[in-house]
Amino acid sequence: MSDETENQQENAAPDEPAGPVGGERLAEARRELQISVLEIAKELHLDEPKVRALERNEFDVLGAPVFAKGHLKAYAQLVNVDAADVLADYYHLNRADRAPPVITARRKPRRELSPGPWIAAIVVIIVVVSAYWWFSRPPQAVPDVPRPQETGDIEVIPPADTDAGVENALPETQGELIDEPPVAEPAVEKDAELAPVPAVEEGQLRLLVTYTGDCWTEITDASGRRLLFDLGKDGRTVELSGAEPFNVLFGNPGNVSLRVNGEDYALPPTNRPDRPMRLTISGS
């Protein structure tokens, strides 16, 4: 009985991590370096509750898995911990509870094909081709029947007289055109081109996001309604509207340009445009 217990303990030992893992490993290193949670939160552009959730391995609080892994890697660099070990802890904590079942394919008995369906298909094809050829033939040309010539008095104007009349009438026409004042162009089209852009309703905000590269984006309005929660791709443009202000998170703000209510909006300056950025955007 004791031998079986020892074997079970030896088999279970590799699955149980020794010491702190993931965010716990980072929290222990932070305390050894005497760094406060507030300082870490400023460097990661997060609030303190999310940093503490990261240290407790509560990764769902951070949103998408790509953000959890990114914050773990950045945190590890701040406290001089190997990021590869921290990410290995993350994958260990989030692995599946059990392996997927092995499915064995059963070979179906081979059925012999009868020639009946093939013969029917060939007959249908022949009928369709024959019908297409019949209806696509060009119609037979109808022979032209000569019409009887009508007799009567026809006035023939000599070509010379026609040219002379045109030449004599041309100077008079040109003189009349020179005496006429120029006609002013209507100003309706100019007024239409200068028509103002409709104003945004009070309390509302219109945001235009243009991506020049990949960037994870989360945007909610003042009412808490989620307007965007997706990965932006290069060349994509998204227009959003809702109650101001907007709470915005950009995973890679260097790949984003904004327009607020039809005007360009500059993002806050940062030394690391590839790091996540949180900000609040309003129309004022």
Summarize pLDDT for 263-272 with one digit per residue, the tens.
Answer: 999 988 888 8
Give the pLDDT of residue 142: 52
User: For residue 137, what pLDDT band results from cuts at 50, 70 and 90?
Assistant: confident
Domain 17-93, CATH class in plain words: mainly alpha
Give the pLDDT confidence of 48-99 residue by residue, as tens digits: 998 898 889 988 888 888 988 998 999 889 889 898 988 998 998 887 433 3
**Span 221-245, average pLDDT:** 94
pLDDT value at 242 more than 90: yes
> Does residue 139 register a pLDDT over 70?
no
Radius of gyration of the chain (CA): 40
Question: Is a pLDDT exceeding 90 seen at residue 215?
Answer: yes
Q: Please, what is the end-to-end C-alpha distance for the chain in angstroms?
A: 76
Percent of the chain with pLDDT over 90: 32
Place of tokens 């009928």: 127
Residues 48-75 as b or e (16 or more Cβ within 10 Å = b)? eebbbbbbebebeebebeebbbbbbebb
Q: What are the residue boundaries of the structural domains of the chain, listed by start? A: 17-93, 204-281
pTM, to two decimals: 0.35
Measured distance CA(207)–CA(282) in Å, rounded: 10
Higher pLDDT, 8 or 134: 134
pLDDT at site 103:
56
The mean pLDDT of the chain is 75
φ, ψ at 222 (rounded to 5°): -65, -25
